[in-house]
Chain A
Amino acid sequence: MARASEGLGDDSALQFNDLTFTYNGAEAPVLERISLEVGAGEFVLLAGRSGSGKTSLLRAGCGLVPHFHGGLIEGEVRVAGRDTREFGPGQLADVVGYVAQDPETQVISTTVAAELDLPLRFRGYSGAERARAIEEVALALNIPHLLDRSVSALSGGELQRVALAVALAPRPPLILLDEPTSQLDPVSGDELIWLLRRLNEEWGVAVVLAEHRIERCLAAADRVVVMDRGRVRMDGSPAEFLRYANRSEPALATPGSRLFNLVGIDTPPVGVRDGRMILRQRGYRPEPGQGGRSPGRAETGNRRSSGPRVTIGRRRDRARDSVLRAKGLWVELDSGEGPVDVLRDVDLEVGPGERIALMGRNGAGKSTLLRTAAGLGEPAQGRLDTPEGIALLTQSPDDYLVRERVGDELSGPSGEAALRAVGLRVDPDADPRDLAGGERQRLALAIALAGRMDGAELPGLVALDEPTRGLDRSLKDGLAELIGLLSGRGAAVIVATHDVEFAAAFADRVLLLGAGELIADAAANEVLSGGWYFATEIARMLDRPGVITVEQGAGVLLGRDPVEAGR
């Protein structure tokens, strides 16, 4: 361990002293002998696989553990010098802000303005002070247009920004964030991380941020703490973390550091800027005139890139045997605040076996497209057909799990066929809610597929809405494998996602929606290498059209054909 708990100073924002915590009813502690100090004004990134104890550590840091999530606690936690065993979350609220994983549970009020007003009112701010604080935090998080909206009508990403604004409005000296970018599009995610850095630099706010998409925030962090099975495994600088990850925990390594490791560069890059600088020092130059070119509204099948191309199987036949056809599709929604056009004049054809990432900013219409395809909404104009059927998994797979036994959810030959189709082997007596995150997701998908398969034949289209929320990279790899399995058996798979690295891992085609319009439709390596935000770390680092994955990047750096290298 590079750094431990020695030398706890008076100016620490948060201290864990030999903390061990076991939830009520649990057999093993979720946190074990944690000793850690976060200094005032530090920016700490908390990394670790799903279930490693990050969320519990953050809950302990704001008093929710043990006051709301009870259990056996040993050792102590001090927030700004206050012992959390004596001070509950309410009494710590003036010194720590907390943003939990699920923004829907963090909404109290009816409108966004009332939501922002609430903590300030509780703290006794005057009317003028409240008005100014609300205005400033709304501007900082780019949400002034949401202030009068009902919280019930916000998308997940908008809710997440509001939850963060509420935590920041009283300007606490310490803020704890649990995967705050999990529902944000790449643009909002990047903006959020740099806003946190700005608050950290200009106002001295200490930040502890748990994230799975480490490449997004590593460059902003002063320090990284790695958790594994309830213990702190590593505590050091971002560069030390990358060396540790490449050596001992590859699932945590960023794409850039994996690339450098693969081509034998010793210095791991802490972010894109760092990576480009190292590469430049070693003589690498991006192709001239290619930087930042963004793909326009591409015609289906149009290839405008001069870089390596991926041949997409079956695309030539798409028009003949489409599993999804949209023609002049307009969808209007009224969330209670007046009707709005959510999809505008969308033309789309999807062929069998395609693996498609559906991307775009929060509120761009991704979920609406999938829901309309699944029959949960009606087009206002135009047509949308899925002639060979569709199975849709919505954003909360747990909503599909109603029974207490897996065998009660899915029984008989059709149920067994659906379980086989998603590659899930579990005890039929197991409680669905006791399964691991990835298994629950597969079970929910099997429930959606059951009976929609013709024997072992899948429906024409399988749609997944934001399936990577809360998943670490190894679970995402498992999901990409599942998508490959489904696609290999002939089903087209559309995944609405904000995760560009995940999209690069599974997709052969990317649809980019902007304010309800289809603004790009092209091969994944073209879309994900041609922009500023919707681009992978490798694409931003190498700035080479068509190069988006670690393997393709290594091909470029080692002078091999990147397409062949990427296979």
Chain B
Amino acid sequence: MTRLSPLAYVPARGVLQTGALAPVALYLGAYLAVCFLSDDPAVLAAAAAGAALAGYGCGAGRAVRFSFRLGLALAVTMILVNGLVTSRGSTVLVRLGEWPLMGRVDVTAEALAAGAAIGLRALGTMMVIGVYSACVDPDRVLRALQRIARRSALTATLISRLVPLASADGARLNQAADLRGPAAAPVGRFALAQRLLGGSLDRAVDVAATLELRGYGIAASTGRSRTVPSRYDRRLWLAGAVLGAAAVALLLFGGTLSAYPRIEYSPGVPSLVMAVLLLTGGLATWRRGGRVRGSRI
């Protein structure tokens, strides 16, 4: 018996789990768009926090915590890598001398700040993907995609199955790494990630082949499934539309972090408004009486 992956979807009575796909996609898509479009650290941090709130509201606390740890690891890696490979910036914190291939390495506060901004983007993205994976039924996504992308089994598979697959494979690989003898070569996170990526892509292709075998490409009309409305749909439409519009406004008026040659960042009113919207938007999944209780997640 295997333990359910933290990112695996588990049916529950949460807002995202019961909501219609279109408003859910708009709502989570708006958060994802902000993570991709914004350079503003306050907005990125608010997007990550808003996504976490949305996840907690739906009972996906385990997925939120797992995504946070993963995103944080990515963010720290990006800060370290950017700190080492970028010597731009005028505030030198440490001089590490001459390194082979890299030449002179100076760690600057600006490079670390720029790395942190990229890391925040990764963290926010991980949070949104984690909440999506744990709260949105991949079976519904698959059925919906079959109507609009019948011929593209691979696309559908990658969207609906890659995250849980990679998560299950990752858990297995980590376990095998724990069972290695103490004198076997240690397996670092990078080696595991590389192995996981290669393996998961192969597995995704296998699953796509299975989809084809199941008859995904058959031309039989399955008819349009009747969508059961949810009482939260209106709320999700509204929150998604507001956040989506704000994301577009952010592109036009949002603040940015300028790291080089010196750190310059002064969040303006639009950034602060956006941050507040993203945070409060996360509460759109909270139901009267609090978050989903008794969830198995």
- The answer to whether A and B belong to the same complex is yes
| Interface contact B215-A123, CB-CB below 8 Å | yes
Interface residues on chain B, size class:
35 or more
Known: A152-B4, A363-B1, A394-B175. A415 touches B215 (CB 8 A): no
Q: Which residues 380-399 of A sit at the B interface, judged by CB distance below 8 A?
A: 391-394, 396, 399
Contacts of A122 in B (CB 8 A): 146, 214-216, 218, 220, 222
Residue from B9, B215, B221 within 8 A of A90 (CB atoms):
B215
Contacts of A363 in B (CB 8 A): 1
Query: Which of B76-84, B201-209, B265-273 lies at the interface with chain A?
Result: B201-209
Q: Tell me the smallest distance from the CB of B219 to a CB of chain A, in Å.
A: 8
| Interface contact A108-B184, CB-CB below 8 Å | no
Q: Tell me the smallest distance from the CB of A362 to a CB of chain B, in Å.
A: 10
Contacts of A100 in B (CB 8 A): 206, 210
Contacts of A68 in B (CB 8 A): 205, 208-209, 212
Contacts of B182 in A (CB 8 A): 450-452
> At the interface, yes or no: B73 with Cβ under 8 Å from chain A?
no
Interface residues on chain A, size class:
35 or more
What CA separation (Å) do A319 and B208 show in the bound complex? Answer: 53
Residue from B8, B157, B184, B297 within 8 A of A410 (CB atoms):
B184
Contacts of B138 in A (CB 8 A): 109-110
Q: Which residues 392-416 of A sit at the B interface, judged by CB distance below 8 A?
A: 392-394, 396, 399-400, 402-403, 408-412, 414-415
Query: Which of A265-273, A281-289, A328-336 lies at the interface with chain B?
Result: A328-336
Q: Which residues 264-297 of B sit at the A interface, judged by CB distance below 8 A?
A: 296-297
Known: A109-B138, A336-B8, A336-B296. A447 touches B161 (CB 8 A): no
Query: Which of B94-102, B107-115, B185-193 lies at the interface with chain A?
Result: B185-193
What CA separation (Å) do A119 and B218 show in the bound complex? Answer: 10
Query: Which of A11-19, A91-99, A351-359, A485-493 lies at the interface with chain B?
Result: A91-99
> At the interface, yes or no: A141 with Cβ under 8 Å from chain B?
no
Contacts of A106 in B (CB 8 A): 207, 210
> At the interface, yes or no: B69 with Cβ under 8 Å from chain A?
no
Contacts of B297 in A (CB 8 A): 336
Contacts of B223 in A (CB 8 A): 124
| Interface contact A412-B184, CB-CB below 8 Å | no
> At the interface, yes or no: B195 with Cβ under 8 Å from chain A?
yes
Q: Tell me the smallest distance from the CB of A114 to a CB of chain B, in Å.
A: 5
Contacts of A542 in B (CB 8 A): none
Contacts of B252 in A (CB 8 A): none
Contacts of B203 in A (CB 8 A): 105
Q: Tell me the smallest distance from the CB of B109 to a CB of chain A, in Å.
A: 36
What CA separation (Å) do A396 and B179 show in the bound complex? Answer: 12
> At the interface, yes or no: A448 with Cβ under 8 Å from chain B?
yes
What CA separation (Å) do A64 and B218 show in the bound complex? Answer: 15
Known: A90-B212, A110-B139, A451-B181. A334 touches B222 (CB 8 A): no
Residue from A88, A105, A150 within 8 A of B217 (CB atoms):
A88
Q: Tell me the smallest distance from the CB of A153 to a CB of chain B, in Å.
A: 6
Known: A153-B4, A450-B181. A402 touches B191 (CB 8 A): yes
| Interface contact A415-B183, CB-CB below 8 Å | yes
Q: Tell me the smallest distance from the CB of A367 to a CB of chain B, in Å.
A: 8
| Interface contact A335-B218, CB-CB below 8 Å | no
Known: A109-B138, A109-B139, A152-B168. A93 touches B215 (CB 8 A): yes
> At the interface, yes or no: B13 with Cβ under 8 Å from chain A?
no
Contacts of A412 in B (CB 8 A): 183
Q: Tell me the smallest distance from the CB of A144 to a CB of chain B, in Å.
A: 19
| Interface contact B183-A93, CB-CB below 8 Å | no
Q: Tell me the smallest distance from the CB of B20 to a CB of chain A, in Å.
A: 18
What CA separation (Å) do A62 and B181 show in the bound complex? Answer: 42
Residue from B5, B137, B211 within 8 A of A108 (CB atoms):
B211
Report the 6 A-B pairs with minimum CB-CB distance, sorted nearest first.
A90-B217, A451-B183, A336-B4, A414-B183, A450-B181, A451-B182
- Chain A positions near chain B (C-beta within 8 angstroms): 62, 64, 67-68, 88-91, 93-94, 97-98, 100, 102, 104-111, 114, 118-119, 121-124, 150, 152-153, 155, 166, 170, 333-338, 340, 342, 363, 367-368, 374, 376, 391-394, 396, 399-400, 402-403, 408-412, 414-415, 418, 447-453
A-B contact list, 24 entries, CB within 8 Å = A88-B217, A90-B153, A93-B214, A97-B213, A105-B206, A109-B138, A118-B139, A119-B214, A123-B215, A150-B4, A152-B164, A152-B168, A153-B2, A170-B215, A335-B2, A367-B1, A376-B175, A394-B176, A399-B173, A400-B176, A410-B183, A449-B181, A451-B182, A451-B184
- Chain B positions near chain A (C-beta within 8 angstroms): 1-5, 8-11, 137-139, 142-143, 146, 153, 157, 161, 164, 168, 172-173, 175-185, 187, 191-192, 195, 203, 205-218, 220-223, 296-297
